[in-house]
Amino acid sequence: MEITSTRIQSQRESLQRCRVRFDPWRILLYIALTVLALITLFPFIWMVLMALKTPAEVFEWPIQLLPDNPQWSNFAEAWARQPFTRYFQNTLFISIGTTVATLFTASTAGFAFEKYNFRFKRPLFMLVLMLLMLPPQVTLIPTYLLVRNLGLVNTYLGLMVPGLTSVFGIFLIRQFLQSVPDELLDAARIDGCNDWSIYTLIILPLLKPALAVLAIFTFTNMWNSFLWPLIVSDSREMYTLQVGIAFFSSQTGTEYQLMMAVAVISLLPVIIMYVLFQRYFVSSAAMSGLNR
């Protein structure tokens, strides 16, 4: 009796809460989130503002937030300081190359793991699982020595070779294929499809959303990667954008406006992709629990 009455009471209260338009907690929440969002965005905003300043404005104290006269020429000047066009092309080439390769290698392997029974399936899968947790530094030195012995230092192949398949990708594809009914494949077999045509005609079209996630994941990972390109390219011709930027930043000393101009250009492709394909980025994060 008592319990019911208090329940009704609190229900009434929560109903009232719905009716109240002004909820101080909600406003506070909005303020807190907005402040945090501004802090999160600030380094990017600051990068753009700094990229447009004159050398004198960079060191002005007290600091001036906005440049008096935006120096658009900083971009061209910074870009000309180093073979950045070349770095950009290198990075684009290896990012696209590894993405295409990974889409193929991960989708075939994920397909085999999900839709076939074969000997050593479990141990092979356990092996993949184990490779997932290897810190990159552990294979770094032997892989470098191997690539060196193969004469692949300072080559595109050398830059791409550790990224041509993706353990995360294999997992992603396998998981996605769990929702594809086996009957579909059986039906295709009865219609005379062999395994390769099942892969190309049925599996690949079905995998489109998963492949989109994987493509974006692989491309940005490669675009952003640093440690491997740093050690495997010692000639400037073969620098990637990130290696070039790190090098430029250590060479340039305090010409911050130029450093920031280069940073803007390096970020643009990633940000454009992010704006266009945001949901794929976010779903790859949610699934890459094992990868970061």
Partner 1 sequence: MSYRLNRRTAPYLFLLPSFALLLVFSLIPFVQGLYFSLTDYPLLQSPKFVGLDNFARLFRDPLFVASLKNTLVYMIATVALRVILGLAVAVALNGPLRGRVVFRAIFYLPVIAPLVTVSVIWRVIFDTYSGVLNAGLELLGIAPIPWLTSTAWAMPAVIIMSVWKTFGWNTVIFLAGLQGIPQQLYEAAAIDGASKWRSFIHITLPLLRPTILLAVVTSTISASQVFDQVYVMTGGGPGYSTMTLGQMVYTAGFQNYEMGYASAVSVILLLISLALTLVQFKFLGQEVKY
Q: Does 290 bind partner 1 (CB under 8 A)?
A: yes
Q: Which stretch binds partner 1 (CB under 8 A): 76-84, 151-159, 206-214, 246-254?
A: 246-254
DSSP 54: -
Among 159, 170, 172, 207, binds partner 1 (CB under 8 A): 170
Q: Does 197 bind partner 1 (CB under 8 A)?
A: no
Q: Does 270 bind partner 1 (CB under 8 A)?
A: yes
CB of 115 to partner 1, least distance (A): 8
CB of 202 to partner 1, least distance (A): 14
CB of 237 to partner 1, least distance (A): 19
CB of 34 to partner 1, least distance (A): 8
Q: How many other CB atoms sit within 10 Å of the CB of residue 121? A: 12
CB of 275 to partner 1, least distance (A): 9
Q: Which stretch binds partner 1 (CB under 8 A): 70-78, 80-88, 207-215, 236-244?
A: 236-244
Q: Does 124 bind partner 1 (CB under 8 A)?
A: yes
* Of the candidates 250, 247, 244, 177, the residue with the CA atom closest to the CA atom of residue 208: 177
CB of 28 to partner 1, least distance (A): 10
Longest alpha-carbon distance in the chain: 84
Among 141, 157, 187, 201, binds partner 1 (CB under 8 A): 141
* Residue list 22-51, contact with partner 1 (CB under 8 A): 29, 32-33, 36-37, 39-41, 43-44, 46-47, 50
Nearer to partner 1, 39 or 76 (CB): 39
Nearer to partner 1, 148 or 208 (CB): 148
Number of alpha helices (DSSP H) and beta strands (DSSP E) in the chain: 17, 0
Among 103, 106, 214, 238, binds partner 1 (CB under 8 A): 106
Q: Does 104 bind partner 1 (CB under 8 A)?
A: yes
CB of 199 to partner 1, least distance (A): 7
* Residue list 74-103, contact with partner 1 (CB under 8 A): none
Secondary structure in 3-state letters for the chain: CHHHHHHHHHHHHHHHHHHCCCCHHHHHHHHHHHHHHHHHHHHHHHHHHHHCCCHHHHCCCCCCCCCCCCCCHHHHHHHHHCCHHHHHHHHHHHHHHHHHHHHHHHHHHHHHHHHCCCCCHHHHHHHHHHHHCCCHHHHHHHHHHHHHHCCCCCCHHHHHHHHCCCHHHHHHHHHHHCCCCHHHHHHHHHCCCCHHHHHHHHHHHHCHHHHHHHHHHHHHHHHHCCHHHHHHCCCHHHCCHHHHHHHHHHHHCCCHHHHHHHHHHHHHHHHHHHHHCHHHHHHHHHHHHHCC
Q: Which stretch binds partner 1 (CB under 8 A): 72-80, 132-140, 175-183, 206-214?
A: 132-140
